[in-house]
């Protein structure tokens, strides 16, 4: 997996949600959520981000359902698919850190600006290596990921974007239908 958008410069101690809200793509997502679907350029055609529960559910950012003992199976399937997709993202960072071992520790440069430039440079080179089929093995940081594609769902209804809770609920119900048709799709390997 390649890095498609990079935003660096915040200290590692900052909450991810704060960094996201202040990032150019986070600001743009918030702005676009206020305009009609047809006028959007970033979140058109049912695109959205996924994040952990700390980000908060938004029309453009889907998070897992809160775990409950009596949670419906469809929601458990949604959380399973959500978790698998997030593991792909975590695996991408593991591959980056394996390719550039210096990123595993504190990056030591004279200025914060140089640190940011070095991190972005590593991500660009990582993307180029992928384009050139120069893969790096992920050793002890390898994550158990499910390689089957995550189903894509069409949630557009008459040009109106559904509310985030209904979007997430429809995805959960659709996953339940897919599970009933083919339970092996959801088996961890």
**Would you say residue 3 lies in a domain?**
no
How confident is the model over 16-50, as pLDDT tens digits?
A: 888 988 999 999 988 988 888 778 887 766 778 88
Task: Specify if 20 maps to a domain.
Answer: yes
141-164 pLDDT, tens digit each = 444 334 333 333 333 333 445 566
- Tell me, yes or no, whether 11 lies in a domain: no
Is the distance from CB of 138 to CB of 145 less than 8 angstroms? no
* 37 inside domain: yes
Q: Which tens digits make up the pLDDT trace of 77-94?
A: 999 999 988 888 889 999
pTM for this prediction = 0.70
Average the pLDDT over 164-168 and give the result. 71
Task: Specify if 7 maps to a domain.
Answer: no
Q: Are 50 and 16 in contact (CB under 8 A)?
A: no
1 located within any domain: no
Is position 39 within any domain?
yes
Token pair belonging to 87? 């593991």
Q: Which domain holds residue 75?
A: 16-186
Helices 73-99 & 112-131, crossing angle to 10 degrees?
Answer: 100
User: Has residue 89 been placed in a domain?
Assistant: yes
Q: How many domains does the chain have?
A: 1
């Amino acid at each position: 997996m390649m890095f498609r958008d990079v935003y660096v410069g915040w200290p590692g101690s900052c909450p991810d949600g704060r960094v996201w809200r202040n990032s150019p793509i986070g600001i743009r997502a918030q702005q676009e959520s206020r305009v009609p679907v047809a006028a959007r350029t970033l979140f058109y055609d049912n695109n959205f981000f996924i994040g952990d529960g700390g980000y908060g559910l938004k029309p453009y950012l889907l998070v897992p359902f809160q775990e409950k003992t009596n949670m419906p199976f469809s929601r458990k399937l949604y959380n399973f698919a959500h978790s698998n997709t997030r593991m792909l993202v975590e695996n991408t960072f593991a591959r980056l850190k394996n390719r550039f071992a210096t990123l595993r520790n504190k990056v030591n440069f004279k200025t914060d600006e140089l640190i940011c430039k070095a991190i972005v440079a590593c991500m660009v080179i990582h993307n180029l290596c992928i384009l050139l089929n120069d893969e790096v093995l992920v050793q002890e940081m390898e994550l158990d990921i499910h390689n089957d594609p995550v189903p894509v769902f069409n949630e557009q209804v008459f040009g109106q974007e559904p509310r985030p809770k209904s979007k997430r609920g429809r995805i959960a119900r659709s996953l339940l239908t897919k599970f009933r048709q083919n339970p092996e799709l959801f088996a961890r390997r």
